[in-house]
Structure 1
Amino acid sequence: MKTIDFTTEQQLLVPPPTDPYDAFRLFIDDDLLDLIVRETNANAVRVGAADNVKRNSQINNWKVLTKEELMTFLGLLLHTGTIRLNSICDY
């Protein structure tokens, strides 16, 4: 994770983002994405290994999450917040 030293002055300590993607990446960096991917996949393994998992459970079809898939999901999630459709099904 990126560390930013605390100062008592009110100032911007990172370069200002030039576009929305750069602003997003100020908060969601590669370390955080790697952590989310690693923990999501580890949780899927734990849940899939449980004794009470039924044979037809969706967890049995789990495919390993990649950072690219996570970025796509987050992009779609953010995009749905910028457009207005009549029904949740339309998204």
Structure 2
Amino acid sequence: MSAYREANLTALVQNYNSFTAVRHPYARIVSAYKNKIVDQKDQTFIKKGNLDKIREHFGDLSFESFIKNVLMEYRNGNINGHWARYTDRYGAYRISESCDFP
């Protein structure tokens, strides 16, 4: 790598900031409920028998039953992207200011 390019990369790394804009968790779960239960737009979710499973476990397709199902799935390790933590989905991390780059 040329000295010029290496110097530019070093300057970039030393002055680099990154951020992520995220939706509020409540807005995310309401959006998932609307998409999967109210509007029934997620055909994969439906074809997998999830509507029947929620009814079977919790009696209806209310928002409360949906939340209970999400929590049950989460505890069982089945995490849908709608309600997965952003750090789990995107591997977000914080770089320490004392970190040395090669």
Same fold (TM > 0.5): no
Q: Which protein has greater RCO, CA pairs closer than 8 Å, 6+ apart?
A: 1
TM superposition score category, shorter chain reference: 0.3 to 0.5
The structure in which a higher percent of residues are helix is 2
TM (norm. structure 1) is 0.35
